[in-house]
Structure 1
Amino acid sequence: MTAVTGLRAELRADALGVGTAAPRLSWRLEQAPEPAEQAEARMVSADGSSSTVPLVAPDGVLVDWPFPELVSRQRVEVSVRALVAREWSDWSEPLAVEAALLEQGDWSEPLVVPSAAAVHELRPSHLLRAEFTLDEAPASARLYVTAQGVFTAALNGGPLSDEHLAPGWTSYTHRLRYRVHDVTAMLRAGANVIGAELADGWFRGRIGFDGGLWDVFGEHVGLLAQLEVTDAQGDTRVVPLGDAWRQIPGPATRVGLYEGESYDARLLPDGWLEPGFDPSAWRVPQLRPVVEIGTVLEAAVGEPVRPIESLRPVSVEKRPSGRLRLDFGQNISGVLRVKADLPAGRTLRMHHAEVLENDELGTRPLREAPSIDSYTSDGSGPFSWAPRFTIHGFRYAELEGWHGDLADVDVEALVIHTDMERRGWFACSDPMLEKLHENTVWSMRDNFVDLPTDCPQRDERMGWTGDIQVFAPAAEFLYGADGVLTSWLRDVAAEQGSDGWVPNFVPWVECGFPRGASAAWGDAATIVPWTMYQRRGDLSILREQWPSMKAWVDHLALRVGPGGVVEGSMELGDWLDPAAPPENPAAARTDKYLVASAYAVRSARIVADTAVLLGDLEAEAHYRAFAERVAEATRRRWFEDLASIADAPTALALGLEFGLVEDPDARRRLGDLLAAAVREGGHHVQTGFVGTPIICDALASSGHLDDAYALLLQQECPSWLYPVSMGATTIWERWDSMLPDGSINPGGMTSFNHYALGAVVDFLHRVVAGLAPSAPGYREITVQPRPGGGLTSASASHLSPFGMIAVSWELADGLLALDVEVPTGVSARVILPDGGVHTVGAGAHHYSAPMPAAQKEATR
């Protein structure tokens, strides 16, 4: 019988604290014959009243809220059922949906600001405490909480959550996110205590490279906590906490995101989170009216950052220095958790690094991020401790100050990142290609720490626009990144200049990098929301980002010179082309203004296509005309004399994949030149950030699939598999971040955990395994495996909005055996190697087809 499953509001299975009055509903149909004719939704209010309404929707994906709009704090339960083959399904399990504080005026509690500390140096944390009395245990209670800084919180001695670095990093001058916590079970009649520890974080701690900056968003830190309780009669009130707050310096004596956390357990007062504690020695903090925060308070749309898993050391070594070296076997973002027993006053220090060099921790690539945590014992007995206000990128760690064997200390690495839902998988018969894919998954995990960053380890960790622009298709396949990217794109829009200028990283920090926007970086403003729409089918992201998208292309128009192409602007170009010298990673084979002009065409076409979807035909005509003017000028400038770009694979690939060359004969010549250049380069990578994501597609689409596989499977440097051959467990920033002799690249910009060059995994999903979306949200897919490179099998699966899609193939004796699984609501166009085409709907489908002679040879 048909079942309605996976009901969500705004794609959230936990719909506590949604930040919209009309959250959209999504669900999946299982065991359903097609088509599903219609559906109904039922809403049950807190008072027990219910209403049932029909739903007019082609499927159960992001269906408009069919009930009256919610008001702040309103809680309802929603269920859905579907009419399929003239029979109603059972009602789905109910989903509790509760609105957050939807109006800025809903906030009444003050910002609690501890006494100011010294500027431009590592500062301690602050302990904040407020005791209050309740006449009775509440029927329900909510804590709305955020901070300028980063915080942990507790109620009556119990942790509020396992979030790390809450509330995360936004453009604090524009947006400050909060979360809603159900604390009903944590409160009791009589005395209660709320406590928090607060540290600098991104708000006023040191951030940025080249020494970084302090106090970027303010010279203070502050906690905003509004506790609301509802009694048995349904009356809700705010518990007044303002005058009850007290503060002292915390046990984290020195805290920095780059530097680490120094913690002295002797400074933590016993019983400070319990009623009856005497805070007479504590100071009264400053209370600032919420209106003075000066930014918009916004319910979080993304998942929290939290520990996701823990890793045990795969090896332990006692060093001559007395340190214990731990190898966790995987490069991660996270911290150590140590369980031990130390005498009072003994300090244990924890050093971190991604790699080893000359048998020592390779710390030079960390630049000015020492990444050292320390714990000083109070001697009270066994303890378990992990840093709360910092994060590191590391595979190796060394314990300094431990006297004894590891058997006497218990250490694990906590993997910390945004708690995204895994949605995509890939496997194949080549273990190294599988490892490349797994390394990319890890690099995404390690760099999706609240926002998409470039790296998790050195003094940087910025939201670089170019990295996520090229990686967005892979990200959307691998994980439910919608919340992270939606939140980040709001900051992109907030920080755009008045002329549409997009910073090269967001949030923007004036730490020495040129302010000028660069093509392929600023184009994240158009390409990331467009990719999200294509992969999730969510038109609202285009509607929300529409002003930002237009503004960026309007800015590009200002950069077009008399010749009709972009020229004269600051451009990063095909960043990290292997031919570029270490000291100038922008010095690529491909003209940076060709790159800029190509991206101007692509972004303008995206904006024109978006205008059609939004019904703005005037805008569509304007941006389409602009795109074609620049495309024509770009063809004249660079693609009429192909000899001038014959040695620039990125330029050739852009001409093919960005539609800059449309004439079939010209495209054939372009493809042949690209294949010749790749062969001339010995099938080594000759592209940087811009060319790397598209070159395999350009080769495959122009009839050179064998060269695409030869490039993909190359193991000598520079190549995708060279780092794999060197034992990498993540994607490197440079093709040669580690040299063949095991030494670290001498450049000052060397990371072992950047996901950008792993963008090629999108090719693995779509072309190697053969699973590609052909309509927004995977409503339609194209299944067309293209075996090669000696692979004998491959598979990909993706948890689409409609359910799991799976494709797998095996090759034996010249025959391709293909299995396809399609969920309800999706149609698949299956294209076989022998030219056979089949259009199918939901269900499991099996095919067998002979390989053409040319492809048989290529797969040997």
Structure 2
Amino acid sequence: MTREEVRIESVWLENRRGVDGLGIGEPRPRLSWIASAAPDAWEVEFRRDDGVVHAVRLPAERTRLVDWPFDGLRSREGGQLRVRAAEDAGGWSTPLRVEAGLLDRDDWSVPFISPSPAAPAGTLRPGYLLRATWDTAELGIAPGRILRARVYSSAHGVSDLEVNGRPVSDDVLSPGWTSYRHRLRTQTSDVTASIVEGRNVVGAWLADGWYRGRIGFDGGLWDVYGTDVALLLQLELTLDDGSIVRVPLEDAWSWHPSPITEVGLYEGERYDARLLPVGWSTPGFDDRDWSSPTVLPLEDFPARLEAPTGPPVRVIEALRPVAVEAIEGGRIRLDFGQNISGRLRINVRGPGGHEVRLHHAEVLENGALGVRPLRAAVSIDAYVCAGSGLETWTPRFTIHGFRYAELEHWPGDLDSVDVEALVVHTDMPRTGWFESSHAGLNRLHENVVWSMRDNFVDLPTDCPQRDERLGWTGDIQVFAPTALRLYAAHGTLTGWLRDLAAEQAEQGHVPNFVPWLECGFPNFPTAAWGDAAVIVPWELYQHDGDTRVLEAQYESMTSWVDLVDRLAGGTGLWNTGFQLGDWLDPAAPPDNPGQSHTDKHLVATAYHVRTARIMAETAALLGRSGDEERYRGIADRALAAFRSEYLSPSGRVVSDTPTSVALAIVFDLFATPEQERRAGERLIELVAENDFRISTGFVGTPIICDALARIGGIDAAYHLLLQDEMPSWLYQVGMGATTIWERWDSMLPDGTVNPGDMTSFNHYALGAIAGFMHRIVAGLDTAAPGGTALRIAPRPGGGLTHASASHDGPLGLATSSWRREGTRFTLDVVVPVGATASIELPDGSTVDDVPAGRHSFTCTVRDAASDPARPPKRWRGGPHEDERAEAGAGPVAVDAPDAADATDTAVSVA
């Protein structure tokens, strides 16, 4: 391949894939790029803003997380970065702007500006407007001298900024939600194009948001992080001689009530368009009746000021309703065909003072919006018309989870309805796709994708709709591997892990959700939830091959494992204290979702083994041999305790549930292969006894199909995956779900909503099955951290005639696509540059060290029509295995391919 054929497809900075490099918080950001081929070497060029050009030559194998090869950046320093194949004059990548934000707290020389240092709790607060005027001439800046203008900002609350009437960015709900006591994110905005000669105005919309608005459940909490709502804003100008002028705004601010008369993240937003001061953020506006704000010294707030580690929250797309109908009571109902996180945008004509109310819900129940699951999150927006003709409005500082909306008091007929649903979430690039011959599986996969989108609104939450929306650690612990397949979520998770470590250090253990709120939930160390401190960084490492996240989280990781070791008294057996166990076991009563059939302390001890093993591996990777030995000892003690307490010599597992057996299989807890074989037989029995319906909760569901596939039960895994009766994944699809539900029976077959007070139609945790669909059904998996080695081993079944998965990983796009035509099986793969693959065909044949490029393989397998149908229920509450053996019953056969269908193998590599 000639040098001219090497195309640089994308270049990005660490954790910022798909995002520019403006305002980064690292003086030496690491670089990654994807190319169409591997040249002899790479050239990386950085053209600094002062005109100095730096260039380096790097080895061809270095394309991922490359250390910054130039002098480190200081605050505000920047330039243009580009990459090409060495000596390829025409192949430069598109330039990437790289510019540091304010890297040190001492770079900030402004106070917080507050229009409301305190407000009564228990009632919704309004939004506020802030403005500050300044003049280039008064600063002694001659025309044409301003090269760049930057706004550095943050807020206690949520804000939208304007300069001379123009929005500063398209970010939503900035600066987002962090553990504000410890970390406050800042934004760097390029406002050069908005600055004019003479008088200029900086304006800000400001509201409570997460900082002091009501958040949490059981009534929620007010003023969690402080009583004030305040803006932090520093405006700097870079002149043509390189000098920097900080615009003195401290005494220039004034404030006024905004048209947002009340707003809450849960409650909704009320906006009176008649109250908008026209031109308020432009020069020449008369603000003599505006008030002076309160100045709050920055030093009174010790939280670290940090640049974002990932993309911002934005409006990602707009959906038109698929149905519009007039309903009883004069309302107009809209169905957008998809459950989303977001808000409505309306175009309306109405007389001045006319109020339109917007109601939201995920589902319909008994012909009405199903609002009971929202609990105290009333989710009603209201717009009061100005009477100025066609008016366009969308709420600014609230967000809802909904598929259905109803317009109350719409001033017109059905034909006049002009409403869109705006999808709002973190602007992560999509990286994973799945498709098959089964329409239900395809819809299921899209449901998982949508639930992830809807719950990655700045941090990984449990649900986007009710009075909760918290960063539950257990949910992301089980879902992280799937999340990293579907989206470039690294930046979001990296920032969230910083909050987890900070909260953990403060609480003495990992809280069950992060950021933590004292809103009535038990605050005790909990297995599978607290283990996120170890497992999420490990999964990030596995995906990226980057040990830096392990180094950054090392203290947090070790603190968790050490704590559990102490709670177990050094014995390895964690059998005391509060536990959630296999949360939401479908057999648990609606009012007691933690009443699982699986022993909670079995779950706790199994996770103790797993995270202690991960710590030993992490210590080894980081060269900490003393820690490695210590954590291997902890893992060995926990493993011995698990085997002694929960395993029989024959391989039976205490609780005798699919979750308990699957944990032992997937976490490698058996002492002998024979024990695992017998446990595998029992696992197939258990899922068959339940007619291949789901009988696992949050802990067991993400691993149940993997456990079946691992012990030879691939057909049983397909029976479970393709079951369409309640409880099952495809039951939800059959009931019209467009996202993953929290409960298997969130909606009952008669269309009524589960009677429990904890029911959401948008939780991603049980959607971890999408990882199985990628890795086992389509066969696309990694065999080494960072994707440098792939394992492509599709396992056809379930009557599927084709399936494919793609992942745009750290090295580029990898795909596995197979089809069955009669007994002929064809596998097409794409291996990205920098990786190799091992291929395992369904007939057992293998091909190793497959290089980068496109390849095709064939073999003979059973026809799709010969895949076993789901058998009838064999054991309905039947006897235990030993009792059946005494009665003369033979063992249940492990599913395996028919040897007669695996003959005449032919393998070809194109």
Shorter-chain TM band:
over 0.9
Partners of 2:232 and 2:556 in 1: CA distance: 30
Q: Which residue of 2 aligns with 1:412?
A: 420
Residues 270 and 91 of structure 1: CA distance in aligned 2, closer, same or farther (over 3 Å): closer
Query: Would you say how many aligned residue pairs link Structure 1 and Structure 2?
Result: 855
Is residue 653–residue 660 contact of structure 2 (8 Å, CA) maintained in 1? no
CA shift digits 1:116-170 (9 cap, x unpaired): 3323310111110111111335211111111000111111111111221111100
Would you say 1:846 and 2:856 are equivalent positions? yes
Residues 856 and 775 of structure 1: CA distance in aligned 2, closer, same or farther (over 3 Å): farther
Would you say 1:153 and 2:148 are equivalent positions? no
Would you say 1:101 and 2:102 are equivalent positions? yes
Partners of 2:414 and 2:227 in 1: CA distance: 42
Partners of 1:857 and 1:369 in 2: CA distance: 47
**2:10 aligned partner, one-letter code:** G
- Deviation, 1:82, is 3.6
**2:8 aligned partner, one-letter code:** V
Partners of 2:416 and 2:84 in 1: CA distance: 57
Q: Which residue of 2 aligns with 1:817?
A: 826
Question: Secondary structure of the residue that 2:186 maps to in structure 1?
Answer: strand
Q: Which residue of 1 aligns with 2:134?
A: 132
Is residue 791–residue 859 contact of structure 1 (8 Å, CA) maintained in 2? no
Alignment of 1:444-459 (within 5 A): 444-459=452-467
Is residue 40–residue 59 contact of structure 2 (8 Å, CA) maintained in 1? no
Partners of 1:410 and 1:175 in 2: CA distance: 41
Identity %: 56
Would you say 1:753 and 2:762 are equivalent positions? yes
Would you say 1:53 and 2:78 are equivalent positions? no
Would you say 1:66 and 2:65 are equivalent positions? no
Residues 582 and 811 of structure 1: CA distance in aligned 2, closer, same or farther (over 3 Å): same
**2:49 aligned partner, one-letter code:** A
Q: Which residue of 2 aligns with 1:25?
A: 31
Alignment of 1:692-711 (within 5 A): 692-711=701-720
- Deviation, 1:615, is 0.8
Q: Which residue of 2 aligns with 1:650?
A: 659
Partners of 1:319 and 1:337 in 2: CA distance: 21
Would you say 1:244 and 2:278 are equivalent positions? no
Question: Secondary structure of the residue that 2:202 maps to in structure 1?
Answer: strand
Is residue 787–residue 855 contact of structure 1 (8 Å, CA) maintained in 2? no
Is residue 500–residue 554 contact of structure 1 (8 Å, CA) maintained in 2? no
Q: Quick one: which of 482, 488, 492 aligns to 1:480?
A: 488
Would you say 1:75 and 2:78 are equivalent positions? yes
Is residue 499–residue 555 contact of structure 1 (8 Å, CA) maintained in 2? no
Which ranges in structure 1 are unaligned for 5 or more consecutive residues? none
Alignment of 1:259-274 (within 5 A): 259-274=267-282
Question: Secondary structure of the residue that 1:432 maps to in structure 2?
Answer: helix
Question: Secondary structure of the residue that 1:706 maps to in structure 2?
Answer: helix
Partners of 1:298 and 1:371 in 2: CA distance: 32
Is residue 57–residue 63 contact of structure 1 (8 Å, CA) maintained in 2? no
Q: Quick one: which of 776, 780, 783 aligns to 1:774?
A: 783
CA shift digits 1:53-108 (9 cap, x unpaired): 2335743000011111110000122233345xx98984433322101111100001
Q: Which residue of 1 aligns with 2:43?
A: 40
Alignment of 1:312-327 (within 5 A): 312-327=320-335
Question: Secondary structure of the residue that 2:702 maps to in structure 1?
Answer: coil
Partners of 2:368 and 2:81 in 1: CA distance: 57
Partners of 2:203 and 2:791 in 1: CA distance: 54
Q: Which residue of 1 aligns with 2:358?
A: 350
Is residue 430–residue 791 contact of structure 1 (8 Å, CA) maintained in 2? yes
Partners of 2:617 and 2:653 in 1: CA distance: 32
Question: Secondary structure of the residue that 1:535 maps to in structure 2?
Answer: helix
Partners of 1:222 and 1:393 in 2: CA distance: 27
Is residue 489–residue 525 contact of structure 1 (8 Å, CA) maintained in 2? yes
CA shift digits 1:35-56 (9 cap, x unpaired): x544332222222222222335
Residues 688 and 677 of structure 1: CA distance in aligned 2, closer, same or farther (over 3 Å): same
- Deviation, 1:645, is 3.1
Partners of 1:129 and 1:824 in 2: CA distance: 52
Is residue 500–residue 552 contact of structure 1 (8 Å, CA) maintained in 2? no
Q: Which residue of 2 aligns with 1:114?
A: 115
Q: Which residue of 2 aligns with 1:385?
A: 393
Alignment of 1:182-331 (within 5 A): 182-331=190-339
Q: Which residue of 2 aligns with 1:375?
A: 383
Q: Which residue of 2 aligns with 1:144?
A: 152
- Deviation, 1:800, is 1.1
Deviates more, 1:748-757 or 1:134-143: 134-143
**1:493 aligned partner, one-letter code:** A
CA shift digits 1:292-315 (9 cap, x unpaired): 222111011111111100111111
Is residue 120–residue 215 contact of structure 1 (8 Å, CA) maintained in 2? no
- Deviation, 1:827, is 0.5
Q: Quick one: which of 9, 15, 22 aligns to 1:16?
A: 22
Is residue 349–residue 390 contact of structure 2 (8 Å, CA) maintained in 1? yes
Is residue 150–residue 198 contact of structure 1 (8 Å, CA) maintained in 2? yes
**1:77 aligned partner, one-letter code:** Q
CA shift digits 1:644-680 (9 cap, x unpaired): 6363110000110001114111110110111111111
Partners of 2:863 and 2:640 in 1: CA distance: 39
**1:166 aligned partner, one-letter code:** S
Question: Secondary structure of the residue that 2:444 maps to in structure 1?
Answer: helix
Partners of 2:509 and 2:327 in 1: CA distance: 52
- Deviation, 1:562, is 7.2
- Deviation, 1:598, is 0.6
Q: Quick one: which of 712, 716, 728 aligns to 1:719?
A: 728
Partners of 2:757 and 2:413 in 1: CA distance: 37
- Deviation, 1:29, is 2.0
Partners of 1:387 and 1:50 in 2: CA distance: 46
Which ranges in structure 2 are unaligned for 5 or more consecutive residues? 138-142, 871-910
Partners of 2:438 and 2:286 in 1: CA distance: 65
CA shift digits 1:503-533 (9 cap, x unpaired): 0000000000000021000111011111111
Question: Secondary structure of the residue that 1:247 maps to in structure 2?
Answer: strand
Residues 827 and 528 of structure 1: CA distance in aligned 2, closer, same or farther (over 3 Å): same
When normalised by structure 2's length, the TM-score is: 0.92
Would you say 1:680 and 2:689 are equivalent positions? yes
Partners of 2:77 and 2:696 in 1: CA distance: 53
- Deviation, 1:804, is 0.8
Is residue 821–residue 843 contact of structure 1 (8 Å, CA) maintained in 2? yes
- Deviation, 1:404, is 2.0
Residues 56 and 604 of structure 1: CA distance in aligned 2, closer, same or farther (over 3 Å): farther
Question: Secondary structure of the residue that 1:750 maps to in structure 2?
Answer: coil
Q: Quick one: which of 683, 687, 690 aligns to 2:699?
A: 690
Is residue 788–residue 859 contact of structure 1 (8 Å, CA) maintained in 2? no
- Deviation, 1:499, is 7.7
CA shift digits 1:582-624 (9 cap, x unpaired): 1111111110000000111111111111111111111111111
Is residue 152–residue 166 contact of structure 1 (8 Å, CA) maintained in 2? yes
Partners of 1:601 and 1:746 in 2: CA distance: 37
Partners of 2:383 and 2:6 in 1: CA distance: 56
Is residue 817–residue 846 contact of structure 1 (8 Å, CA) maintained in 2? yes
Partners of 1:311 and 1:854 in 2: CA distance: 38
Question: Secondary structure of the residue that 1:496 maps to in structure 2?
Answer: helix
Question: Secondary structure of the residue that 2:745 maps to in structure 1?
Answer: coil
Deviates more, 1:705-714 or 1:112-121: 112-121
Would you say 1:361 and 2:369 are equivalent positions? yes
Is residue 31–residue 64 contact of structure 2 (8 Å, CA) maintained in 1? yes
Would you say 1:800 and 2:809 are equivalent positions? yes
